[in-house]
Amino acid sequence: MASDHPSTPPPGAAADWTVPQDWASYTPADHATWDTLFARQVDMLRDRAAPEFLAGVDILRLSRPGIPDFAELSERLHRATGWEVVAVPGLVPDAVFFEHLANRRFVAGRFIRRPDQLDYLSEPDVFHDVFGHVPLLADPVFADYMQAYGEGGLRAQGFDALTNLARLYWYTVEFGLVRTTQGLRIYGAGIVSSRGESVFALDDPSPNRLGFDLARLLRTDYHIDTYQQSYFVIDSFADLLDQTRNTDFAPLYAQVAGLPALAPDAVLPHDRVWHRGTQAYARQPSLA
C-alpha cells in the first residue's frame, strides 16, 4: 500500500491518510463479490497456506458473509495481537505506510474489485488487503515482524535504501513461502489472494524456489504485473523475525549499495535451491 511519490492527503482524508471505511455504502453486489472470492480461495488454500494464515482466518471470523466491517475486525485483531485495520483511499506515501506499521496499524483499501476482475487487478483492493494480509496479523510472531518492518522502514529513509527494503517486503509479506512439516506452504498476501498464483507458486515447474537470504533479497528485482520468477522460502516466522530484529541494516545497506541488482530469475552459486525453475512461464511470447 506504499507509494514512491509522497504528497498531501487527498480531500476527505485525515493527516495520516486514513478515511472512514463507510461500510454501509457497500452494495449487495460488492458483498457478493467478496463472498465469491473468499469461498474459492479459502477452499483452495486448505492444503496450500501456512497453518498460521488459516488459523487467522478462523480467529478473525472472516468466514462470515460480506466484506468485513473494519471496526469489528479491529476489535478481534486487537484482542489477538494489538493490531488494528484502518481504511485509506489508495496507495499512501512510504513514510505514512511505515508509521502505521510501526504503530501496529495496517492500512487497507476500502474498494472492492468488479465481478469481471476476480482474477486480476493492478491496485490492491479490500479483498487483497484484508483477506491476503490481515489473517497473519493475528499470529503474534508475524505481527511482530510487520511492526519491525515498519520501524525498519522509518530508519531506511535515512539511508536511501527504500528500494532495497521494498524487495524484502515483496518477497516475504507479498510473495513468501514457508517451510513446514507438511512441505512448502504459501503465506504471502499476493499469493493467497490470487487463485492462479496459489497454484503456480507451489506446483508449477517454472519458478525458482530458493532459501531465504536477507542480503540477497535486498538486491533482487521483481515483477509487479505477472507471476514471480523466484519465490523465497523462510524456515519459520520466528526465524524471519529474528533476522529482521537482530540484523544491523546500516552496514547491510552499505554493502548492497555497491552491488548490481539481481535479475528476478537469477540463481546464485550459494543459493539454497529447493527447486530450480524452468522459467517456461516467463518465456512465453505473450509475456516477453
Give the per-residue pLDDT at 5.
Answer: 52
Q: Classify burial at 214, counting beta carbons within 10 Å of its beta carbon; exposed 0-12, middle 13-18, buried 19 or more.
A: middle
With contact defined as beta carbons under 8 Å apart, do 86 and 109 qualify?
A: no
38 three-class SS: helix
Give the per-residue pLDDT at 2.
Answer: 65
Give the per-residue pLDDT at 91.
Answer: 86
Please state, in angstroms and rounded to a whole number, the distance separating the CA atoms of residues 130 and 103: 18
pLDDT in tens, the chain (288 residues): 565 555 788 888 999 999 999 999 999 999 999 999 999 999 999 999 999 999 999 999 999 999 999 999 999 999 999 999 999 998 899 999 999 999 999 999 999 998 888 877 778 899 999 999 999 999 999 999 999 999 999 999 889 899 999 999 999 999 999 999 999 999 999 999 999 999 999 999 999 999 999 999 999 999 998 999 999 999 999 999 999 999 999 999 999 998 999 999 999 999 999 999 999 999 987 654
Start-end of H helices in 122-183: 126, 140-156, 162-169
CB burial readout 136-152, b (16+ within 10 A) else e: bbbbebbbbbbbbbbbb
Identify which of 109, 104, 162, 163 has the alpha carbon closest to the alpha carbon of residue 132. 109
Give the per-residue pLDDT at 286.
Answer: 61
Give the per-residue pLDDT at 284.
Answer: 86
Report residue 251 as a C-alpha cell: 552496514
Please state, in angstroms and rounded to a whole number, the distance separating the CA atoms of residues 234 and 213: 9
With contact defined as beta carbons under 8 Å apart, do 208 and 229 qualify?
A: yes
